[in-house]
Chains A and B, each alone.
Chain A
Amino acid sequence: MQIPMILTAVIGLLMIIEFFFPMPASVTSLNVTLRSFVTIISATALILGTIVLTIFHTKKVGTRGSEWYYSIVYVVAFVVTAGLGVLNVRDTTFLWIYNNMTSPIGAALYSLTAFYITSAAYRVLRARNWNAAVLLVCALVVLLMLIPIGAILFPPVVPLGEWIRSFPSGAGFRGMIIGTSLGIMGLGVRVFMGRQKEHLGIREERRDSE
């Protein structure tokens, strides 16, 4: 059970050493190879995920589980797309599926954000208390600054909006970034020392038995 922790610590330290100290070409080359393992492991896990998903949907169709008809869509789409891709990844039909189906569906789903962001903005921008009122005023100033008619109607919103973005907002974000960086360092040290291993799926009780 110690092996994953030792591997994490050794490989992590190798990467840190390479970042700060000039290293011989052999060490740099080793690190490049190790980094390429990430891609290989991710690709293997993707295959595993796809197999699990296919088994899940096939079972659902077989047992007529809830909304099983959607699973048929998955199975058919998977068989057709994967089949064409395996035969020839540069095949025009395969590329057609990607360019005319997968890509537009992705763009359409992404565009959902615009609608949700509007209702989320309404939820946020209600002056329920003093803090929310400050947020509302700042948001209105910045919005007016960003729309073309805002600067024409209320010219002072331009410098005021720039000031809000550059100083209070910028300072807050920098504070958050410093805190986050420290948090990442703390996480790294705990993981390197093998004291935190939940992300490896190792149960709490096993700590005591080691």
Chain B
Amino acid sequence: MALIVEGRVIGLLSLLIIAGSIIYYMQRAYSGKLPKLRRLAAVNQIDEILGRCVEMGRPAYYLMDTVTMDNPSVLAPTVAAFQILAYTARSAARLGARFFVPVTQGLAYTIASEIVDEAYKAENKQDELKLDEAVMYLPDGADRMYIINHMWSDGMAGAFFLGSWYHKAVIFTENAARVGAMMLGGTDTTHNIPFLVAICDYSIIGEELYALGAYVSEDPTVSSSLAGQDVGKFIAVILIVLGSVLITLGMSIKGLLSM
């Protein structure tokens, strides 16, 4: 019997190297050696959007679209969106911005409620929070009409579109743009990134969604893990160049990849 499942050796090696790099940089951060990280513009943009909402006396919406957490491809961006929600809700509580988080799945609803509740408690603003109005469970299908209707009636001043976005990206962002809301959009679903980038005032694409969750955690050991991810990028670039050269020279790498 093979020690490793056939065809997954390269995957395992990549996982070990990249996960090892991430852990290495996190351990280095424990001993005070912090890597230099570029500040993500989205961190300022979250506060800017919430500040606008406070100035205008209008609410901010935090939308996550598909949050079916039993689907692996949706789980990761949803968890990232929850991490950013923790920061955004806390900023909203601190600044006094009205905050609305509609969620279309039961499991995600309970998590989002807990996050928003804890964020307001952390800022000692639990008196200002009406949890059943701030975080609302809207069954999938009913959410579109409810959210669009309230976008217009509330005249929302800011919106966050983060997580796993599909066709609703166009529907909600287009309405938010017509209402005049300032928007931050970010997803990892490649076919919807163009819509969010084109319509939203600010956008984060692909891995920035995950990086932002780490960046806003206010824990230097967590944000240091981003340097470990960069090791993976360097490896990817080297492999792409190497693969291109080998293929150009007529050398097949199929055998290597199917290890």
State which of B22, B26, B167 has its C-beta within 8 Å of the C-beta of A185: B22
Q: With A46-B106, A176-B190 in contact, do A199 and B115 touch (Cβ < 8 Å)?
A: yes
B117 at the interface (CB under 8 A from A): yes
Q: How far does the alpha carbon of A19 sit from the alpha carbon of B5 in the complex, in Å?
A: 8
The answer to whether A49 and B79 touch across the interface, beta carbons within 8 angstroms, is no
Check: A87 CB closer than 8 A to any chain B CB: no
Q: How far is the CB of B162 from chain A (nearest CB, A)?
A: 13
Residue in B8, B121, B222 whose CB lies within 8 Å of A203: B121
Q: Determine whether A190 belongs to the interface, using a CB cutoff of 8 Å to chain B.
A: yes
Cβ contact within 8 Å between A196 and B18: no
Could you tell me if B229 and A186 are in contact, using CB atoms closer than 8 angstroms? yes
B165 interface contact, C-beta 8 A? no
Give the interface SS of chain A, mostly helix, strand, loop or mixed.
helix
Closest residue of chain A to B90, judged by CB? A204
Number of interface residues of A (CB under 8 A): 61
Q: Which residues of A contact B82 (CB under 8 A)?
A: 198-199
Number of interface residues of B (CB under 8 A): 84
Closest-by-CB residue of A relative to B226 is A186
Known: A42-B105, A45-B109, A179-B233. A22 touches B170 (CB 8 A): no
Which of B175, B195, B218: most chain A CB closer than 10 A? Answer: B195
What is the distance, in angstroms, from B197's C-beta to the closest C-beta of chain A?
A: 9
Beta-carbon contact of B233 and A178 below 8 Å: yes
- Shortest CB distance B155–A (Å): 14
Tell me if A207 counts as interface (CB < 8 A to partner B): yes
CA distance A32 to B133 in the complex (A): 38
Q: List 13 A-B contacts (CB under 8 A).
A: A42-B69, A42-B70, A49-B139, A113-B168, A176-B193, A182-B236, A183-B209, A184-B188, A187-B79, A187-B80, A193-B26, A196-B222, A201-B118
Q: Apart from A124-B198, A182-B233, A201-B114, list 12 A-B contacts with CB within 8 A.
A: A19-B5, A42-B105, A120-B195, A176-B193, A178-B236, A180-B188, A182-B18, A189-B22, A189-B26, A190-B26, A196-B213, A202-B118
